[in-house]
Structure 1
Amino acid sequence: MTSPSTIFSLLFFFFLLLPPTTLSQTTTTTFIFPSFTLRNITLLGDSFLRNGTVGLTRATPVPASSSGSLLFNTPFTTLHSSTFSFSSSFSFSISNSTSTFSTSSLSLFLNSSHHSLSLLFLTNPNQLSLNLNNNPIQSTDPTLHAVHLNTGNLFTSWVDYNGTNNPRKLSVFLNYSNSKPQNPILTLDFDLSQYFKDNFHVGFSGSTLGSTDLLQISSWGFEFESFQEEPSFNHSNPNNISRNPLSVDFDDTVPAKDSNVVGKNRVKWFAIGVAIAGPALFLLMLLVLGYVSFTKWRGGVRKQRGKCFGTSVVAACCPKEFGYKELKLATKGFHVSRIIGKGSFGTVYKALFESSGTIAAVKRSRQYSHDEGKAEFLAELSIIAGLRHKNLVQLQGWCAEKGELLLVYEFMPNGSLDKMLYQESECDGSGGNVVLSWSHRLNIAVGLASVLSYLHQECEQRVIHRDIKTGNILLDGNLNPRLGDFGLAKLMDHDKSPVSTLTAGTMGYLAPEYLQCGMATEKTDVFSYGVVVLEVACGRRPIEREGQKMVNLVDWVWGLHSEGRIIEAADGRLKGEFQEEEMRKLLLLGLGCANPDSAQRPSMRRVLQILNNENVTLVVPRVKPTLTFSSGLPLSLDEIVSDAEDEFKPGQFMCEIKID
């Protein structure tokens, strides 16, 4: 076996034989897909491959929401202390648009563990936007260049970034043909090397909201060059792929190649290296080997931690990993004064990041030291990381350190819906409390129906939330609803029935069959949605005490409906400022969703269609259906009429519960 000293000696003389300009390197990686196969790419969400073309969204016969991504499997690596250039061209189309009011977006993205750059093509209105970390930094209107994105035509776009010139420049070209225009549609002086200093992935993402649009990528080429020290870059044509990369007929990756600049006088440099630089190079070699060993060890630790927590895939896809100290500082050590809410499996804190001046919400697992807390944390992380909808609370990052499991969300300034409906709010300036207007309430019902339709029927795997309630519906700055708290959610294949061994959720919102059997389906979410709709319309809690009597909201509204007085259930604080037919439709929709017979409840897609006047209103019987369950119900009467979130105690049951 060769001794370590022999290896070091050989390496030493090998280093001496190289010219001192060896560290001046160029690494080039190129791939070209004139059409796609499943080789070297990963499809996420609703994306699919058909006849060599990748569809990022699903074409649907009725307006719906869909999202998907295409990811190139191999990450790109920038050399240490280096800069880089890249060029990409791709052909895409946005077709099957049936409404001028639909919104669709398609983006080319570069994602590292800390930063994200995306080129976003948006319809309604037509817009081309360059975003850094989801913040627009430059945008333009393609229609000013006679380009309309939602016509269904095939477009070709070129994105060139030259990281060697001063200033460094990024340019975007767009055309109906594969002939590159002379003038860019968007250009920006921008230094990307300060943001992308390690591995990053490239790919596409697409999403539709309330449309039948189909977003497709038919071809893609990408060339990446990383330079260290003084690069020998061809400035006359720094982005070779922009000539016509899509005409090359292969779909694999061109391996990375290193080019060494050879000195003119090798003998002279050899003599100088032996006499002067030998000890320095030997020391450098030791440092490099030590650094490589340390990097491999640290990467192994991180990889193992990712396997333990199951978050390595999530971290590579979108949200950033926060440091525990950063989150602790932003929440003042998780001080009680920063608590803004409590979810099913955690406490939520307001976090202020002084370095950036941004505000976020940090959810801290209530049972982080137990396996159950970890399981719920990973469930929420794995579910939310793959979801994209305007009525979902956006996940910004996560942290798994020091036994803590933390999720970072965007901050919702108007808090939760239940606080807006029931608790004292800030005065509106006239001495009265802020009251949600009818238009805001109707928008909340529509937005919640839209996101539940997305979760139930438009995801690759349906998501059963299992805890729909006003406390889990947050309101952004414009009072738009955002559904959050996925700690109880379950991912299920569309052809399987989600059976839960533990009935969990909040009393007053739980469907009768879920209380009896513990089986959660999309219809249990529909029941909870119906209760929320009645709360929004009536301004009453699901279960309220009136004197010595507990009044169930569903029973109360159904009683008024049976007497032909359902409009009297409207929230008195609205002072009649609503359209009576809209109020009647919303109240009947709430009763229809809260029908004790799950088979009679509509799907969330039909609910959304009814709210958008695309389907007929539900027929709700005047007398509430009666269902009888016998024995085995693990609940006491006090628990049934409470709003508690704790788990049910074993051994307590009623012989019979009658729902009428």
Structure 2
Amino acid sequence: MAIVLRSLLFLILLYVSYIPLALAQNEKGFIYNGFHDQANLGLDGIAEIHPNGLLQLTNLSHNEVGRAFYQFPIKFDTNSSLSFSTNFVFAMVPEVDNLGGEGIAFTISPSTDFTHAYANRFLGLFNDSNNNNTANHILAIEVDPVPGADFGDIINHVGIDVNSIDSVELAPTTYFSIEEGKNISLELLSGNPMHLWIDYDEAEKLLNVTLAPTTIPKPDRPLLSTPIDLSEILLESMYVGFSSATGTLASSHYILGWSFNKSGPAQSLDVASLPPLPERKGKDKPGLVIMTSLIAVAVVLITVAGVAAYILRRKKYEELQEDWEEEYGPHRFSYKNLHKATKGFKDTEVIGEGGFGKVYMGILPSSNLQIAVKRISHDSRQGMKEFVAEIVSMGRLRHRNLVQLLGYCRRRGELLLVYDYMPNGSLDKFLYSNEKPNLHWVQRFGIIRGVASGLLYLHEEWEQVVLHRDVKSSNVLLDAGLNGKLGDFGLAKLYDHGTNPQTTRVVGTVGYLAPELTRTRTATTFSDVFAFGAFLLEVACGRKPIEGLVLPERILVDWVAECWRKGDILDASDPSLEGNYVVEEMELVLKLGLFCSHSIPAARPSMKQVVQFLDGDADLRELPYDSASFGTFTSNESSDFTSLPFSQASGPSMSTTDSILRDGS
């Protein structure tokens, strides 16, 4: 009897302990290498599961809908991480070879009730009245072989839909082949299985969509890489699944396997064990072919009028795009979306202006993500491919003190660069404008350290060397917490470590240009350090590097050097601080600003040394009062380096080439 009781107790404990484990699995993720015994799926419409585990969403019935959703809601923590990962294998088998429709949409929705949704191009998700309604809270990634002129679709595309069937971003169905080094097209209606991966990174607020045949691993380069803030879309409890529809033409849409994970990368599907597709029937009967052909002709004629109107409308958003840009697809924004984001580039949205053009604040319609868009004129195609390649490369920069470059767009004579939006604007407004409050010393010193850390990352810590070439207070932007972030990479150049940069044109802003640039025309990391020195003095003194519109101009570095030679370097500090600063930190910043402004490039500290000084990891020895090499009034290049408070830095020899942008003001 005792043995029986102990066994019963063990089973009860095992059952109780299993319940939360099962729930956790339901709420976090799952994997189906084929669907058997309904597989916890709720089916709707004409969807069905075959005995071999194949999920069929639609058949050859016209204007029908099929859906399959995981029956347990997924818990999304809207106050923490909304990251998720999923991948699935699908196939579209058309009614007649290469002639079918419509599409399949992986869907995240607060409900599985789509009673009033339409079939056809609405894919069983929306109707005329609720399409583009923010109350929908629906995210869908569609694969659609049929162009919809009124929705802005193209033939054979993958699109990201937010609360609407009108995709906010779309791309032709291609995958990047490492072997061939280019994008290769895929025909959705080929009847062949294809693999789709969808990954959302909450930290970067980036949605990546990757497509490939089932015969190859997941490509390294996504098809779509779209900035999007899902906190504006997803609710705490959401359902995940698929919705598919047919229209005037039909296809059988299948899901062979599906993996989903809310707490990390989704498990890989075992493609070899997925259920096979039904065997394709022989050639179609002549009558069916004729009937289908007539239907197709009718559809084409009906569509032509809509396409013509659509082309006229799209002319407004016509972009410049060449074949070589296809490989940069994930980093390219559509002009249409940027036009909408900035309210048609209205003057009321301008947040900055200079010789390069204007900067606009915008909100991406797909995600409510705030962005800054810089419009640059480019009247020459020479070097544009190389420049765009650099823009895309710099889009991979990741540092807390760099403004994130999200991508670009080209249209006619314009280049548009898209950045993260910084709500507090540029630092110079706080230093010189009465519109902003005065920054106290703790804030200024924190901004200086942050920008130094960002420059160190550019010079030494990233996979390539990045010369910013326009370090100044107006290019230092402040986030909501007044943290400094170095931005505006329009003049930046990058090159491999251990090689030479390619620059010949002197670019930048007067007052921040290293003196050797006018002679050698060669930008180096040391010329960035010189500009950073001018920036240090600017923040500490509250004065511009050059003041006065008429002669004699006051050169800030010369004035600070003179205060230092008199033994009163603190007299150069910003009067608005009223002495409320840490004396040791103020002296450090002023003296470090002078050292960074040394007339001899190799005598300047590297950014690694600068960061060490600012962090207190290295001591800056006292400056030699008799030196004449600090300030811009001398070009003495025979100065003795033995008294410098840091070891000499050496730079590689440089060669040069033309810069795309001509004006860095």
How high is the TM-score relative to the length of structure 1? 0.54
Q: Give the aligned partner of residue 419 of structure 1.
A: 429
- C-alpha distance in 2 between matches for 1:240 and 1:390: 30
Q: Give the aligned partner of residue 282 of structure 1.
A: 293
Q: Give the aligned partner of residue 182 of structure 2.
A: none
Match of 1:414, SS? coil
Q: Give the aligned partner of residue 442 of structure 1.
A: 445
Give the counterpart of 1:347 among 351, 358, 373. Answer: 358
Give the counterpart of 2:372 among 357, 361, 367. Answer: 361
Contact residue 378 and residue 414 of structure 2 kept, 8 A? yes
Q: Give the aligned partner of residue 139 of structure 1.
A: 80
- C-alpha distance in 1 between matches for 2:365 and 2:635: 56
Per-residue CA deviations over 1:268-291 (Å, capped at 9, x if unaligned) read xx9xx877x554433456689999
Is 1:557 equivalent to 2:560 in the alignment? Answer: yes
Q: Superposition pairs for residues 289-308 of structure 1, below 5 Å?
A: 306-307=321-322
Q: How far apart are residue 511 of structure 1 and its match?
A: 1.0
Contact residue 426 and residue 475 of structure 2 kept, 8 A? yes
Q: Give the aligned partner of residue 471 of structure 1.
A: 474
Q: Give the aligned partner of residue 334 of structure 2.
A: 321
Q: How far apart are residue 418 of structure 1 and its match?
A: 1.5
Q: Give the aligned partner of residue 513 of structure 1.
A: 516
Contact residue 393 and residue 410 of structure 1 kept, 8 A? yes
Give the counterpart of 1:487 among 490, 498, 502. Answer: 490
The one-letter amino acid of 2:635's match is L
Match of 1:615, SS? coil
Q: Give the aligned partner of residue 539 of structure 2.
A: 536
- C-alpha distance in 1 between matches for 2:244 and 2:354: 49
The one-letter amino acid of 1:462's match is V
- C-alpha distance in 2 between matches for 1:378 and 1:164: 34
Match of 2:548, SS? strand
Per-residue CA deviations over 1:109-159 (Å, capped at 9, x if unaligned) read xxxxxxxxxx9xxxxxxxxx97xxxxx8463699xxxxxxxxxxxxxx996
Contact residue 405 and residue 419 of structure 2 kept, 8 A? yes
Match of 1:361, SS? strand
Is 1:601 equivalent to 2:613 in the alignment? Answer: no
Q: How far apart are residue 369 of structure 1 and its match?
A: 3.0
Cα 1:546–1:610, aligned 2, differ >3 Å: closer, same or farther? same
Cα 1:207–1:465, aligned 2, differ >3 Å: closer, same or farther? farther
- C-alpha distance in 1 between matches for 2:404 and 2:483: 13
The one-letter amino acid of 1:259's match is L
Q: How far apart are residue 490 of structure 1 and its match?
A: 0.9
- C-alpha distance in 2 between matches for 1:613 and 1:283: 80
- C-alpha distance in 2 between matches for 1:262 and 1:548: 85
Is 1:312 equivalent to 2:326 in the alignment? Answer: yes
- C-alpha distance in 2 between matches for 1:489 and 1:467: 8
- C-alpha distance in 1 between matches for 2:108 and 2:540: 61
- C-alpha distance in 2 between matches for 1:360 and 1:449: 24
Cα 1:228–1:24, aligned 2, differ >3 Å: closer, same or farther? farther
- C-alpha distance in 2 between matches for 1:451 and 1:231: 49
The one-letter amino acid of 2:352's match is G
Per-residue CA deviations over 1:232-283 (Å, capped at 9, x if unaligned) read 768xx964999x99999x9xx86999613889xx9xxx9xx877x5544334
Contact residue 85 and residue 199 of structure 2 kept, 8 A? no
- C-alpha distance in 1 between matches for 2:411 and 2:348: 23
Q: Give the aligned partner of residue 389 of structure 1.
A: 399
Contact residue 567 and residue 584 of structure 1 kept, 8 A? yes
Match of 2:563, SS? helix
Q: Superposition pairs for residues 68-147 of structure 1, below 5 Å?
A: 137=78, 139=80
Contact residue 348 and residue 363 of structure 1 kept, 8 A? yes
Q: How far apart are residue 358 of structure 1 and its match?
A: 5.5
Q: Give the aligned partner of residue 650 of structure 2.
A: none
Structure 2 stretches lacking a partner, 5+ long:
1-45, 53-63, 89-104, 113-136, 143-159, 162-166, 174-195, 205-215, 220-240, 246-251, 312-316, 639-660
Contact residue 588 and residue 618 of structure 1 kept, 8 A? no
Cα 1:226–1:616, aligned 2, differ >3 Å: closer, same or farther? same
Match of 1:474, SS? strand
- C-alpha distance in 2 between matches for 1:543 and 1:488: 21
Cα 1:552–1:314, aligned 2, differ >3 Å: closer, same or farther? same
Q: Give the aligned partner of residue 627 of structure 1.
A: 635
Cα 1:594–1:206, aligned 2, differ >3 Å: closer, same or farther? farther
Contact residue 87 and residue 266 of structure 2 kept, 8 A? no
- C-alpha distance in 2 between matches for 1:518 and 1:535: 25
- C-alpha distance in 1 between matches for 2:545 and 2:258: 65
Match of 2:80, SS? strand
Instruction: Say how many residue pairs are matched.
Output: 441
Q: How far apart are residue 382 of structure 1 and its match?
A: 2.9
Q: Give the aligned partner of residue 380 of structure 2.
A: 370
Match of 1:512, SS? coil
Q: Give the aligned partner of residue 47 of structure 1.
A: none
Cα 1:278–1:231, aligned 2, differ >3 Å: closer, same or farther? closer
Per-residue CA deviations over 1:22-44 (Å, capped at 9, x if unaligned) read 99999x9xxxxxxxxxxxxxxxx
Contact residue 327 and residue 351 of structure 1 kept, 8 A? yes
- C-alpha distance in 2 between matches for 1:646 and 1:331: 25
- C-alpha distance in 1 between matches for 2:470 and 2:537: 16
Q: Give the aligned partner of residue 418 of structure 2.
A: 408
- C-alpha distance in 1 between matches for 2:273 and 2:459: 42
Per-residue CA deviations over 1:354-373 (Å, capped at 9, x if unaligned) read 786664322111x3333469
Contact residue 24 and residue 231 of structure 1 kept, 8 A? no
Contact residue 168 and residue 190 of structure 1 kept, 8 A? no
Q: Give the aligned partner of residue 148 of structure 1.
A: none
Contact residue 379 and residue 487 of structure 1 kept, 8 A? no
- C-alpha distance in 1 between matches for 2:394 and 2:66: 35
Q: How far apart are residue 533 of structure 1 and its match?
A: 0.7
Match of 1:501, SS? coil
- C-alpha distance in 1 between matches for 2:424 and 2:636: 41
Q: How far apart are residue 527 of structure 1 and its match?
A: 0.7
Give the counterpart of 2:277 among 254, 259, 264. Answer: 259
Cα 1:25–1:378, aligned 2, differ >3 Å: closer, same or farther? farther
Q: How far apart are residue 574 of structure 1 and its match?
A: 0.7
Contact residue 107 and residue 140 of structure 2 kept, 8 A? no
Contact residue 25 and residue 260 of structure 1 kept, 8 A? no
Taking only aligned residues, the RMSD between alpha carbons, in angstroms, comes to 5.5
Q: How far apart are residue 386 of structure 1 and its match?
A: 2.2
Q: How far apart are residue 571 of structure 1 and its match?
A: 0.7
Q: Give the aligned partner of residue 178 of structure 1.
A: none
Q: How far apart are residue 393 of structure 1 and its match?
A: 1.9
- C-alpha distance in 1 between matches for 2:242 and 2:523: 52
Contact residue 478 and residue 485 of structure 2 kept, 8 A? yes
Per-residue CA deviations over 1:298-328 (Å, capped at 9, x if unaligned) read 9xxx9x96545x5433322x564342xx444
Contact residue 513 and residue 527 of structure 2 kept, 8 A? yes
- C-alpha distance in 2 between matches for 1:287 and 1:501: 60
Cα 1:509–1:415, aligned 2, differ >3 Å: closer, same or farther? same
- C-alpha distance in 1 between matches for 2:502 and 2:110: 59
Per-residue CA deviations over 1:181-228 (Å, capped at 9, x if unaligned) read xxxxxxxx98644647865666799999xxxxxxxxxxx9989x9885
- C-alpha distance in 1 between matches for 2:598 and 2:108: 67
- C-alpha distance in 1 between matches for 2:47 and 2:490: 50
- C-alpha distance in 2 between matches for 1:329 and 1:221: 37
Cα 1:380–1:480, aligned 2, differ >3 Å: closer, same or farther? farther
Contact residue 321 and residue 410 of structure 2 kept, 8 A? no
Match of 2:293, SS? helix
Cα 1:381–1:321, aligned 2, differ >3 Å: closer, same or farther? farther
Q: Give the aligned partner of residue 60 of structure 2.
A: none
